[in-house]
Amino acid sequence: MSQRSTSDLEFENVDSPTEKAPQPLHPRGKKRSIVAAYIALTKPRIIELLLTTTVPTVILAADGWPTWQVMISCIVFGYLASGSANAYNMVLDRDIDAVMNRTKQRPLVTGEISPRAATIFATVIGIISIIGFGVFTNWLAGALAAVAILLYVVLYTIILKRRTDQNIVWGGAAGCMPVLIAWAAQTGTLDWPAVILFLVIFFWTPPHYWPLSMKFKKDYRRAGVPMLGAVADDLTVAKRVLVYAAATIIATLALIPVAPMGWIYSVAAILSGTWFMWSCIDLFRHARNPELGKPKAMKVFHGSIYYLAIVFIAVAVDPFFV
């Protein structure tokens, strides 16, 4: 496994990966603009998922529609906080990104943006997000935004990602922070419903990412990243996916008496949880019985996204029907 110091990652020359990398393209096959390259630094597709959890949390915390100031602050400054963490991640992981097929078009690998420029960009939007939350909502939300950035950059990217197959479990805590930030932005406090929503995403993260690492295990092995799906056999991964999926469903059901939630959320959580659990059981069946065919890892990966979206859409809708 490749082990490198933080200072090496921050200041090394990246001419070699740049020379070997293909021309940077956006999905339609045309050369990417510099604006598009900076947007790509923020990993907007991942942030879409984060905002899917943020907006419903604000609505639940407000027990209805919040003020536009709070809602827009959570969307804008939440995007900037997540984007800052993701941009730092691309600076630190550019050597990994250069050898993985699914990441070799990222802007630091292609040479569109220099490591120094990306670091400045990440720092600026991170500071804006923290101050923005503090000024337009409250400083608890601002402090939590700072913690989220540090968790993703330091705990996950620097400390855990290259050292343990449990990296996504504990490092994934950064991805749970948006619900705490959103709740704090609306209420100025942290209450049990926010903690439960945090746990929903915490337990959901492994059964979301581990199937992806099963699909791209060769990429992760080549990059020296010990994602569980790349270093363990399929049956071991499938067993752990089942455990975390069950914990996720239990957490979604725990929200019903604690929030409390009404019938719309309750029905959605039970039905979508049953469907998601079945897809994980099917992954386990295929891993245990190879004669059934290869485990449908990407089906679980994509299904996990739909599942989380259904749960949080129900969170958003439920307060209006109580």
Each residue of 150-208: pLDDT tens digit? 999 999 999 999 999 999 998 888 889 999 999 999 999 999 999 999 999 999 999 99
Cβ pair 178, 145 in contact under 8 A: no
Partners of residue 31 on adjacent β-strands: 25
- Residue 9's pLDDT band, with cuts at 50, 70 and 90, is very low
Query: What is the Cα–Cα distance from 312 to 54, expressed in whole angstroms?
Result: 9
The predicted model scores a pTM of 0.87
Q: Note whether 264 and 314 are within 8 A (CB).
A: yes
Residue 43 gets the label, from left (phi > 0), alpha (psi -120 to 50) or beta, of left
pLDDT of 16 over the 60 cut: no
Please give the C-alpha separations between residue 6 and each of 156, 190, 285, in angstroms, as whole numbers.
Answer: 13, 33, 41
On whether the CB atoms of residues 91 and 9 are closer than 8 A, the answer is yes
Q: What is the pLDDT of residue 172?
A: 81
pLDDT of residue 290: 87
Token digits for 272? 């979508």
Buried b (16+ CB within 10 A) or exposed e, 143-176: ebbbbbbbbbbbbbbbebbbeebebbbbbbbbbb
User: Is a pLDDT exceeding 60 seen at residue 90?
Assistant: yes
Higher local confidence (pLDDT), 61 or 3: 61
Q: Which tokens go with 293?
A: 């065919």
Domain boundaries, the chain: 7-186, 191-322
Mean pLDDT of all residues in 48-68: 91
Could you tell me the pLDDT band of residue 30, with boundaries at 50, 70 and 90?
A: low
φ, ψ (nearest 5 deg) of residue 97? -60, -30
pLDDT at residue 24 greater than cutoff 70: no
pLDDT of residue 154: 94
Omega of the bond prior to 260 within 30 degrees of 0, cis?
Answer: yes
- The mean pLDDT value for 213-223 works out to 89
Under CATH, domain 191-322 is a member of which superfamily?
UbiA prenyltransferase (1.20.120.1780)
Give the right CATH number for 7-186 from 1.10.10.10, 3.40.109.10, 1.10.357.140, 3.60.20.10: 1.10.357.140
